[in-house]
Amino acid sequence: MTDPTPTPGSPTAPIAIAGDAASATAHLTAPIVLLDDAFLGRLGEVCADVRLDPGERAEASRDWWPLAMVWATEGQVGQVAGALVRPASVTEVAGVLRLCNEARVPVTPAGGRSSVVGGTVPVHGGVLLDLTALSGIGEVDATSGIVEVAAGTFGDTFEAELQATHGLTVGHWPQSMALSTVGGWIACRGAGQLSNRYGKIEDIVVGLEVVLADRDVKVTLKRAWACTPWYRKFKLLGGLLESVFDRSEVSEEQLREIREQDTLSALMNDFGKTFPELKKVLISERDQFLAERIRSAPGQKVVAVVGAGHLQGIQSILESNEAVPAESELTHIPPPHPVWAWIGWGIPALLVLSLVLTVYLKGFEVAADNALYWVLITGAPAAFGTALALAHPFTILVAFVMAPLTTLHPLIGVGFFTALTQAYWMPPRVHEMESVAEDFWKPSRWWKNRLTRVFLAFLLPGLPTTVGSIMGGWKIFSTLAQ
């Protein structure tokens, strides 16, 4: 992005603070984080504009919150930040955030401070990150109408510059136009006047300047599934299903223990023993992918936020300068083995072909008898299984009608149709969805809870239909062979 030319604009105070702003006191009583001299010294090293004047900090620590305006008449603000920083570059922003993260100091970002709900009040003190120094327009493409603009640019300044210099309009006119910044619009999903014509802010924004370190989650999950052997997939699905209905709660103490590196390492090792292929894709490969993205990111200093489970692996790769596989290799999704596609489509194709050959070799009546037998031997068991679920009568009818068809398609089962039909005719109630975790462990309640009955309507037709399709296929093939 082209470095923007700074433009005028600064936050507008909603009301004067009674007395001297430097003497303003905090109204809120939440615990605050105090900043020591050592931290303030380091803060000055990463950002040139650090302000500690009590009056400036008090003025910057408030917005257009009506309740705070009342407090201002009494010489109070919601809370006073320990330091006000005004970074003039993305590098300075990254430096401030890195330092505050290391020191566990809260950061409150602020732009025009036009919030009316106290959104920019530094409730816990710490650092107030004033982004209004990051202002101005960068490149403008008159043909496409795409404009690069810094996050701290005020709306009225942005619009005036576009109109005067380029004959364009931003098309976004919130009521706080002169009080708010472009970054604030995006953070709060702004709308306002002209939204019916140009859309809300998310409809106007073409892109944001960000660095995405991680691999696409869809690629990760697809690789994990493709690399897992079929016999471990059953174990994985069983574990996932069990976790959905797990009623146990994790305490804060247990969470703290899990976050300990030794505990995390032990968990990762146990996970690797149970699902080695999953650990390779979900942990090891992501460590490699993230490490390489961090290593190749522009800039002398890179701030990367990663999960605790990846910290040790990424750190090891970066410190040892370990070579990692090419990104194309880590994002490649292995295709399924063609034999499964041949089996999935081959058996239904043989059944249909056998019926066609039966017409020519045995006559139409014999083929019709076989077709009718197929309908009955697959439809009736499906209806029986659905009836065992105490499903709605229409759901049972759908099972009978759809089973003869779905058994000829390897990707669609009759359970999809029965579950959807059951959910439509007997939708689960709120209290049943809330109690499903408890009801799941008591089989006597499975038929009383509408949500679990949807699950039963999905599962119970499957096995009878499979048995029926085997019997039906045997009859069709044996008739042709006679």
Q: Tell me, letter by letter, the H, E, C secondary structure of the chain.
A: CCCCCCCCCCCCCCCCCCCCHHHCEECCCCCCECCCHHHHHHHHHHCCCEECCHHHHHHHCCCCCHHHHHHHCCCEECCCCCEEECCCCHHHHHHHHHHHHHHCCCEEEECCCCCCCCCCCCCCECEEEECCCCCCEEEEECCCCEEEECCCCEHHHHHHHHHHHHCCCCCCECCCCCCCEHHHHHHHCCCCECHHHHCCHHHHCCCCCCCCCCCCHHHHHHHHHHHCCHHHHHHHHHHHHHHHCCCCCCCHHHHHHHHCHHHHHHHHHHHHHHCHHHHHHHHHHHHHHHHHHHHHCCCCCCCCCCCHHHHHHHHHHHHHCCCCCCHHHHCCCCCCCHHHHHHHHHHHHHHHHHHHHHHHHHCHHHHHHHHHHHHHHHHHHHHHHHHHCCCCHHHHHHHHHHHHHHCCCCCCCHHHHHHHHHHHHCCCCHHHHHCHHHHCCCHHHCCCCHHHHHHHHHHCCHHHHHHHHHHHHHHHHHHHHC
**Chain-wide mean pLDDT for the chain?**
82
Task: Take residue 385 and report the two structure tokens written for it.
Answer: 């299984």
pLDDT recorded at residue 247: 62
pLDDT recorded at residue 214: 56
Q: What is the pLDDT of residues 223-256, one digit of tens each?
A: 777 777 766 776 776 666 666 656 667 677 766 7
Q: Which of 389, 391, 372 is nearest to 472 (CA)?
A: 372
pLDDT recorded at residue 53: 94
CA 156 – CA 145 distance, rounded (Å): 18
Amino acid at 14: P
pLDDT recorded at residue 276: 80
Give the pairing of strands 76-77 and 50-51. Answer: unpaired
Q: Which stretches in the chain have pLDDT values below 70? A: 1-9, 194, 209-217, 230-231, 234, 237-248, 250, 254-255, 257-269, 271-272, 297-300, 337, 340
pLDDT recorded at residue 244: 60
Task: Take residue 372 and report the two structure tokens written for it.
Answer: 């009718």
CA 272 – CA 345 distance, rounded (Å): 35
Q: What is the pLDDT of residues 162-190, one digit of tens each?
A: 889 888 888 888 888 888 898 888 888 78
User: Domains of the chain by range and CATH?
Assistant: 21-130 (3.30.43.10), 137-204 (3.30.465.10), 217-329 (no CATH), 338-481 (no CATH)
pLDDT recorded at residue 380: 94
Give the pairing of strands 107-110 and 127-130. Answer: parallel
Q: How many residues are listed for the chain in this entry?
A: 482
Residue with tokens 């090293």: 45
